[in-house]
Amino acid sequence: MKVCIAEKPSVAKDLAEVLGARQKMNGYYEGNGYQVTWTFGHFCTLKEPHDYTDRWKTWRLEELPMIPPNFGIKLIDNEGVRRQFSVIESLVANCEEVINCGDAGQEGELIQRWVLLKAKCKVPIRRLWISSLTTQAIKEGFQSLRESARYDNLYAAGSARAIGDWLLGMNATRLFTTRYGKGGVVLSIGRVQTPTLAMIVQRHKEIMAFVVEEYWELKTIYRETEFTAIIDRLKSLDKAEKGVVYLVNHPFEVTSFDAKEGREGNPRLFDLTSLQVEANKKYAFSAEDTLKFIQSLYEKKLVTYPRVDTTYLSEDLHPKVEGILQQLTPYAQFTESLLQAPIPKLKTVFDDQKVTDHHAIIPTGVYPVALPTDEKRIYDLIARRFIAVFYPECKVSTTTVLGKVGEIEFKATGKQILDPGWRVLYAHEKKESAEEEKVMPVFEVGETGPHEPRVHHGKTSPPKYYTEATLLRAMETAGKQVDDEEVRELLKDNGIGRPSTRAAVIETLFKRKYIEKKKKNIIATQTGIDLIDTIQSELLKSAELTGQWERKLRLIEKGEYALETFKQELTQMVADLTNEVKTGAFRVISVADPVAAETGKSKPREPRAKKEAVDIQAQQCPKCRQKTLIKGKTAYGCPEYSSCGFKIPFEIFGKKLTESQVADLILKGKTGKLKGWQLPDGNTVESRLVLNAAFGPELSDV
């Protein structure tokens, strides 16, 4: 008898139907040589501190850090879990083979492996790995079962994640609570939760510290087109009014007219995070709700596996795309034109190098019937995006007009859609901005005429609060503000949290009253602010450092990093953190301190002198002045590199640059005089590295 273990009863029922195991038993299905049973979420968990020693039952600073010699697992204390586990244990003990049919991802692998470990499974194990629950996908999956050992690295990564969360969460929560907590308040610390909260608190402080400034701009209307003066914003109304007086006495002259045709690339297929972002923007769905809706669609066989972090399809799916499009009959008005020619095998859609365990979320082709409204909306987002990626690009015309009035230069821009291409899929939606399409008249260089100058009075705006959409993006890119999809793809390995867990992290922050929602905005509560102010360790608060940790977990998954090495690093990190908090002197406030809660000010406790390092990735690109810099594999650069072109390599002229030298180059335009620069002829020189007129690094004295 072969025992199949699914991740939930509904999936077990689908598997049993396909396998012919149609006899319903107590806790499993049986028939045709198969017994199909199920779990429902986590059955096992890592042992708690008190399971290792009685000394860890109470929260005492002197007992920290808690480092178990070996991590053990135990069954969750739940009657339903115990009852179903006994069924699994009995079936596993009397079978010839186990087929792991758990959720085809890291968490699913961990759930099943722990159950089999607890059940003392001694028979061979094979793995069912499928990306959808359609009958065809299940049949194909059972025809090509894989050896369980193929997923040992996935299990190792899941174990490393669980152990990491235990070591940091258990120790840091007890550490900060016993050291700084008052009045029975628990200071909850988490590997992903705390840096996420820190981002929200930092944004809150930026907004609170923002000083609104008034400004005045000179504008004028010429041929029904508004132009804005290309000068610094004026700080006083008096200067602006004098400017208008000057403008009235001079005609408007067109100095340049440039109309360029361009293309807007197609959107990418959805991964879970981008789907959650889109659903939050369009329907104000929370990340947790979107995950619930997409999971339901997956179990109804309407879409493929949702807990993915790639926006690409594997190349072997290309022949199946035409069939899926043909079955999307509700969208026939859009698919008809696509099906008149072969489906292109686009590199932006099909790339085996960008697909790991699963591909992007797409429809299965099964016709959706009588869906709840919210699920229908999510399905519509996925179906339209799937069709849109195969449509032609959107053709646009971008117009830039320069002019002058006397000695003051003016500028106006416009954009016109020439051929909507993929945008026809979204013609039913309201435009996000009135400026999205602005048709300009044709101007002749040298033409002049009367105009209508005026003063525009404006105020500077503070940074915007996070919404769930922008917070998910910030978690995905470890706090970097990145709009470009290709750059975001590169940063995913360093994101904090997993696509499947980010929603739960945000919900945890809500439940613990660290954050609250006002309309769509996510705002830190005083409790959340106080907690982050209490935690002085950047290790716990830094999204970037947590992202680097996340990257190591992904390397474990790929077999490129050892679980034991990771555990040793974690153990050392927790020991160092504990020692630092026990003996260090921080500027802290307790969340139970009423004075601090009212004033928001921290009480000094022997502040430690520390030289402030420049955060390069918080600096504005010195060339375009539009974006903050990002760190790539070989250089710091602008996120808009394709158009801006700014970058500083880590190594140049035979010399590796320190972060301090890079910071000098960005902020001052030059480094100090340094020896050892290597010239193309092999000679070395002493010189400064400077940014030239084109913002490229060069040696100043050569």
Q: What CATH number corresponds to the domain at position 399?
A: 2.70.20.10
Supply the angle between the helices 543-557 and 193-209 in degrees, to the nearest 10. Answer: 150
pLDDT reported for residue 482: 57
Grouping H, G, I as helix, E, B as strand and the rest as coil, residue 619 is coil
Other CB atoms within 10 A of residue 456 CB: 14
CATH number at residue 194: 1.10.460.10
- Residue 520: predicted pLDDT: 92
Question: Residue 171 CA to chain centroid, in angstroms?
Answer: 27
Instruction: Provide the terminal-to-terminal Cα distance of the chain, rounded to the nearest Å.
Output: 79
Instruction: Give yes or no: residues 532 and 658 share one domain.
Output: no
- Are 259 and 354 in a shared domain? no
The predicted structure's pLDDT at residue 181: 81
With 0-12 CB in 10 A as exposed, 13-18 as middle and 19+ as buried, what is 669?
middle
Q: Is position 575 within any domain?
A: yes
- Could you tell me if 543 and 30 are in contact, meaning their C-beta atoms sit under 8 angstroms apart? no
pLDDT on residue 490: 56
Q: With contact defined as beta carbons under 8 Å apart, do 116 and 100 qualify?
A: yes
Distances (CA, A) of 634 to 501, 552, 637, 648: 30, 19, 10, 9
pLDDT of residue 317: 92
Asked if 253 and 405 touch (Cβ cutoff 8 Å), the reply is yes
Together in a domain, 7 and 140? yes
Number of domains in the chain: 5
Q: Are residues 190 and 48 in the same domain?
A: no
Phi-psi domain of 676 (left: phi exceeds 0; alpha: psi -120 through 50; beta: other): left
Query: Alpha helices of 492-537 — where are they, by DSSP H?
Result: 499-511, 526-534
- Say if 12 falls within a structural domain: yes
**276, 249: one domain:** no
Query: Do 127 and 60 belong together in one domain?
Result: yes
Q: Is residue 155 part of a domain?
A: no
- Domain with residue 60: its CATH number is 3.40.50.140
The one catalytic residue among 155, 305, 514, 636 = 305
**226: helix, strand or coil:** strand
Residue 483 domain flag: no
Same domain assignment for residues 258 and 407: yes
Residues 9, 126: one domain?
yes
Q: Is residue 417 one of the residues assigned to a domain?
A: yes
Same domain for 24 and 6: yes
Residues 359 and 333 in one domain: yes
Distance of CA 94 to the CA centre of its chain: 45
3-state secondary structure of 134: coil
| Domain assignment of residue 349, given as a range | 272-388
**H helices of 105-184, where?**
106-118, 135-143, 152-180
Pick from 532, 440, 547, 435: nearest CA to 490? 547
Give domain status of residue 78, yes or no: yes
The answer to whether residue 468 is domain-embedded is no
| Listed residues 388, 418, 437: the one ending a domain | 388
Domain end point (choices 328, 354, 388)? 388
Residue 55 sits in the same domain as residue 123: yes
Domain boundary among 571, 599, 627: 599
Name the nearest CA neighbour of 663 among 624, 625, 612.
Answer: 612
- Residue 520 and residue 587 share a domain: yes
Residues 6+ apart with CB under 8 A from 385: 267, 269, 270
In this prediction, residue 597 carries a pLDDT of 32
Specify if 496 maps to a domain: no
Which residues of the chain carry a pLDDT beneath 50?
Answer: 433-435, 585-612
Phi-psi region of 285 (alpha: psi -120 to 50; beta: other; left: phi over 0): beta
Task: Spell 606-620 as b/e; 16+ CB within 10 A means b.
Answer: eeeeeeeeeebeeee
Report pTM: 0.75
**Number of other residues whose CB lies within 10 A of the CB of residue 301:** 19
> Quick check: is 426 catalytic?
no
Taken in order 628, 632, 638, 639, the sign of the CA dihedral is negative
